[in-house]
Structures are given as C-alpha cells and as structure tokens.
Structure 1
Amino acid sequence: MGRELQKKKNKSSVPKQRQKGPSKKKILQNPIIAKHWNQKETLSQNYRRLGLTARLNHATGGTEKTIALLGLNDGKSSRADTAANSTANALNIVSKAPETIEVEELQVERDPETGAILRVIGQDDKPYNPLNDPLNEVDDANEGEEWDGFAMVPEVRKGEEVNPVITELEEAARNGARKAPRKQSQREEEWVVRLVEKYGEDYGKMSRDRKLNPMQQTEADIRKRVKKWRASQT
C-alpha cells in the first residue's frame, strides 16, 4: 500500500514541500559589514546587531506591531497614529486656533497730522507663523549651501554606547572610496612603443594611422598614453 501511495505522490503535479535550510546570503560588497557578519543569523538579525536597518519602512512579517511599538494613542503627540518623538508628529501642522493669545506692547510711530501708524518700533523679528509650521523658522539664506555628506553626522551623546561598526562605516563614508591608479597593460605599452618608434613626437600622424591605430584614438588620448608610458619608464 505504501508503495502505491508513493507512486501516486511522484506522479502528482503538486510540488513537494521541502524544508528550506539556513540562508547562505552574505553581504560581501562592504568589507566592514562582511567582517562582522554572522552566518548563523538572518539578514535582519545581523543588521539589528550591527546597529543598522534592513528596511526603511516598518518590518513586515514575524514582528508584532503593538500599540506601544508604533506609539499609537500617545497623549503627548498631536496625532493619534504616531508617537510624540516621531518625524510625522514634528512636521504635523495643527490648524486649531490657539486657546490663549499673548498680549504684547509695542512702540509705534504715527503721522502727526492724520494719526496713522507709519511703522512699528521694537517689533519682534520672529516670523509670522499662524499654522505652527516647524519649517517656518528655517533661514532662507542657507539655501545655497551644499550638503556636506556624512561630515554632518551628530556627535555621540554622553552616556550613549558607541557602536564600532557604525563608527567604521561613518569614517569610510567621510574619506570616500579611493580608486587605485590605473596601470597600463603590457599590450598597451607595446602599442605605444610601436607608435613612438615610428612617429616620435608627431601625435597627429599617430592618430591618423589606421594600421597602428585601428580604434582611431584621438591625438590628445594618445598624447596622454605616451606621457604615462614615459613616466613609467623613469
């Protein structure tokens, strides 16, 4: 009986359910992450241990989204669906009218004949912001400044534990990727030698030679290659 069931199972078009083994994914593009990678952990577990995030949005699947986790119904927040310390709450525009209005005393200059107010003396320079826009106080004079990359990373606060992986990544981002200088191959050097032996310093004739220069390299390009070849000979 068991043999007949096995035959039917093999003939069935339903794919067999096989248990998947541990993932063999490994992030090798970045040497800093590859050095601290643990093959026995998942991608999310590795990123969480290194102080990184694998997703820009909320995690989906395998993580319970509780009210406390999402910061819902936070009394200090102006929105019921976000926490008080979230970016959405900081940029939320509250359109309700203020409960109290602050009374201020200002000096004004009036026209002696008509009594009309000409100008206000000692007025507060705070910009008018009736909608409580948090971006209203941003100085427009700094619009031309360029972003300084990871040099703008804030300093570590007192008592905050320093993550060595994050420190290495920030240092690598500040320094930038350094490209190794390109070296001429042996065939390129032989090609340059043949051009120099035939034409000397006449780069115009080198560029017009269809036999020695079948790829039609320009005069400036050949000059640069010859200069690089001469520098390697010294």
Structure 2
Amino acid sequence: MANPQQRQKQKSGKAKLTRKTAQQRKKVPIKGSEIIAANWDKKFTLKQNYARLGLVATPNPLSGGSEKLNPPKKLDVEKEKSKLKANEAIIERDEAGNVVNIIYGKAPLEDMDIEPVEAKTEVVKQLEEQASKAVKATRVVSENEEKWLQALVDKHGDDYEAMFRDRKLNTMQNSAGQIKRKIKVWRENGKKQKMVAA
C-alpha cells in the first residue's frame, strides 16, 4: 500500500520522465520564419537542415567543427589538402600512431576575400524576397517627448553636451548622442507633418 506522499505523486499532473516522454520534450516548435518552418526536416540536426536549405548555421566558420555522420576511415591527403579552411589542419600518423606531419589550412579569415554567393536554393530565394519587402518601422514622437525636446532646444539650441548636463530638463539622464538622435527624429517628423498638412 502506498503511503500518502507517494499517492500524492501519482495524482500529480507532472509527467513521469521516461525515454518516451524525454523524446517528446525534445520536439521544439520552430519559431521565426514561416518559410524555414515549412521546409524544416525534424529528422536532421540544425546544421544539416541549414546546409540542406542553403543557409549558414554559424556565421563564423572558425567556431565549432562540422558534423560528420560516417567519417571515412582512410583519408586521401591530397584531396583533403585542397578542402582545408582557415585554422584547420590534418595530422598524418604512421602505423604506430606517432605524428609524422601536420598540414595546415589556408590563411586566417581576415586575409580571405569573401565573394558574394548567389541564392542556390528555393528557400534562400524566398527568404531574400521576404527581406526585400520588409517595411522599416517609423518612430513616432509623443506629445510629452515633443514638449521636452522643444524645451531643451529653446534653452540650449544645438548644444547637446549642455542638454546632457541639464539636470532639471534631462531627468532621464539621456546621453548627448541619445538626445541628438531624438531631436533628429523629432525634426524629421515635424517636416513630414507639415508636408502632409500642405
């Protein structure tokens, strides 16, 4: 007979962790781009899916190795030399396992010229098309912010350092650069509103 504590565990809504439930937990929904979610294959890993879709999983090739499901037992050294990237190397060993030679890859990434690559897959083309249609969000200046900026300009003109040091008006302690950007947006919005009114 189960004691009260064990009985409470049985009633608990928390699922028991088994191999089956652990596998179900791993299934993560893909958030973000609908195009990638539609073309995603859950049988493959992240890097394999990205390679299949024509995308790059890690922008920096120097961080992290590449996945090899079935690495070849014997490497053709001459072929592999041409494939070596920056900061990669092949270690040649003799029959006893002693290191005979180390063949290093090409120059570091900074010295390499990166050529623009055309979209190879349909997914990449769809993503580029989606990115080209993206609308830039315009910042709207509120009435209170407009009054505050007007007071700063009336008092200090275009002296942003003085605006930054003004303790009474600059209560939120915005930096000189932040104030300058806000005033620029405010002035641009004012010009647009005048054009619409005309």
Which interval holds the TM-score relative to the shorter structure? 0.3 to 0.5
Give the alignment's TM-score, normalised by structure 2: 0.47
Give the alignment's TM-score, normalised by structure 1: 0.42
Larger RCO (CA under 8 A, 6+ residues apart): 2
Structure of larger gyration radius: 1
